[in-house]
Every structure is written in structure tokens, then in C-alpha cells.
Chain A
Amino acid sequence: MKSLAELAELRKKSLDAINMRDGHAHKRVVVGMATCGIAAGARPVMNAFTEELKKRNINDVTVGMTGCMGMCVLEPMVDVYDENGEKITYVKMNPEKVARVVAEHIVNGQPVTEYTIANENL
């Protein structure tokens, strides 16, 4: 059974990682989490990002959420911002697609174009 006291050990580990990345710009993942996104499966997508980043020991990427991104029919939608603030929008995401976005875009800097909004026939 986990207890809050165990967090002291995690604190040390996390502090080491924070010190290593201190001062560097980092990528950001933002998941649309309004009613439309939630109903379409945005929460498991967000969870898949945190799980995949943890699995790969990537600790300099933040995962956040925002409200309705304006195209409910394309939810779950995810914006990935690079270190310069450039944004790629992924649409109709699911947990299975997340591993590829993390591997190709977040780790290797190559957006997965087939999942992007530009690839949708609107």
C-alpha cells in the first residue's frame, strides 16, 4: 500500500531531473479537454502521453490541457509545441497513436503528418 511518506524518495529523484534540465526550453503537449474532447476519449489520450513519457524516462516535456479547441468533430485533439513555440495539431487521437507521436515527434523531432489536421479531408 502506497503512502505519502514515499514521496520523499521520489522528490529526490525528480529534483535531480529538474536540475539537469534547468534553463532549457522544452516541448509541451496540450490536450483539448472540454465536454466534446472528454466524450471522444481525451482523458485516456492524456494519460497515454504521461505513461509513454514515463516509460521513456522523458522528464522535460510538460503535459497540460485546455478547453474546446473549436473543431469538436476532430476530437480528441492534441497540440504539440516544440522548443520554439511552433505548434503541430493532431486530431482524432487515441492512446495507440500516442506512442508514435512521442517516438517520432517528441523524441526525434519529426511530426507524424498522417495524424495531423492537415491530413484531414475537411
Chain B
Amino acid sequence: MVDLSLHLMDIMQNSVVVGSTFVEVGISAEKSRNLLTIYVKDDGWGMSPETVKRVSDPFYTTRSTRKAGLGIPLLTDAAQMAGGEVHIESEAGRGTTVTATFQIDNIDRKPLGDVAETMTASIMGYPDMEFHLILKNEDTEYVFRTEDVREQIGEVPINDIEIISFIRDMLNEQITLIFGGILNEIIS
């Protein structure tokens, strides 16, 4: 994966296949602590404590179709390379939250990438699910919720190409607004 938005996309896909109806993505930049945090939270099937322990092993998967599960191992590798870590909280039947941290100024930290495209691709692919995006820079926060979009568009499907394109432009504007001065640092 060349950037963190692709890792987010991958972890969101995991959320989809475990029966989630809701996925929340969070990105938080705290320059004062040199800390970039990303997380994906879902309300899917969740995992047992035994599965959580093994999920960083690339040769462990709950799928029967193939014998590898690379999403979490790749994210763990990316976080550790940038002085961070991955933390997984999960409860069977309640859902999972995968959190990854990175040092902002670490030379090996991957760029944030195109988060707006990750969100809109997911909304396009799974129009019946609800997605949230929470952007935080120190004390400034922006919250995007697909429920708010649905309220405005009524019977028009949220995966309508015009709507998706609007959401992408809006999220890109908000990412620029929220992360402002440190945008170049976390994007690059």
C-alpha cells in the first residue's frame, strides 16, 4: 500500500465482510504530540480475544477461500516503521475498532493519501451502509455522516454518480480546511 488512505480502504473492506451496517473512520493530527492517528470502527461480528491475538499473523485468516490475511499485518508494518503501533479492540457480536498511530515527522511515515476517494468508493460500493468520517486537528473537528446526506437527497440513491462526486469534492474541501497548515506534512 502506497498511502494510509489505501490501508483505511482495506480495513473498511474487512468491516464490510463481517456484516457491519455502520463504519466510522477517524483521522486525527496532533502536531503538538507529533501524532497522527487513524481508526476504523464497525458494528460487525467482532472477534474473540484469541482471534485478535492472531490477526497480525499474515498466515492467519478466518476465510476458507485462501490462506492469507494481509490487511492488518501490512497496517502494523506501516505503523511500526513510522514509530507507531496498531491497537485492536473487538468484542464478538459488538464490533471492532482498529486504531493505528504514526509519528507525523517520521521519515518512514506513509502519506495520508486520498481519504475522500476512499470514503466515496466505499459509499459507492455499499450504498446501504452508513459511513462516518471524523477529522480532527488539535481542537478543530469535522464530522461527515451519510445519514445527513440521505436526509437531503430523499429517494435519490446515495451511490448516484452526481451525489458521489459532490461528496468527494466536499470532503476534499473539509480535509484542506481542517488540516490546513499541516496538510502538506501529513499528505506527503
Contacts and interface: CB of A to CB of B under 8 A. Distances in A.
Contacts, number: 101
Contacts of B114: 43
B160 A14 contact: yes
Contacts of A18: 156-157, 160
A14 B153 contact: yes
For this complex, into which size category does the number of interface residues on chain A fall? 35 or more
Interface string A14-43: 110110000000000001011100110001
B13 A46 contact: no
Contact of A38 (B13, B159, B165, B166): B13
A72 to B, nearest CB: 9
Contact of B71 (A4, A31, A35, A70): A35
B121 interface: yes
What is the interface residue range for chain B against chain A? 35 or more
Contact of B6 (A43, A51, A54, A70): A43
Interface stretch (A61-69, A75-83, A85-93, A109-117): A61-69
B70 A35 contact: yes
A51 B152 CA distance: 22
Interface string B103-131: 00000000000100110110011100000
Contact of B160 (A1, A4, A43, A59): A59
Contact of A2 (B71, B126, B170): B170
Interface of B: 1, 6, 9-10, 13, 17, 65-66, 70-71, 74, 114, 117-118, 120-121, 124-126, 148-149, 152-157, 159-166, 169-170, 173, 177
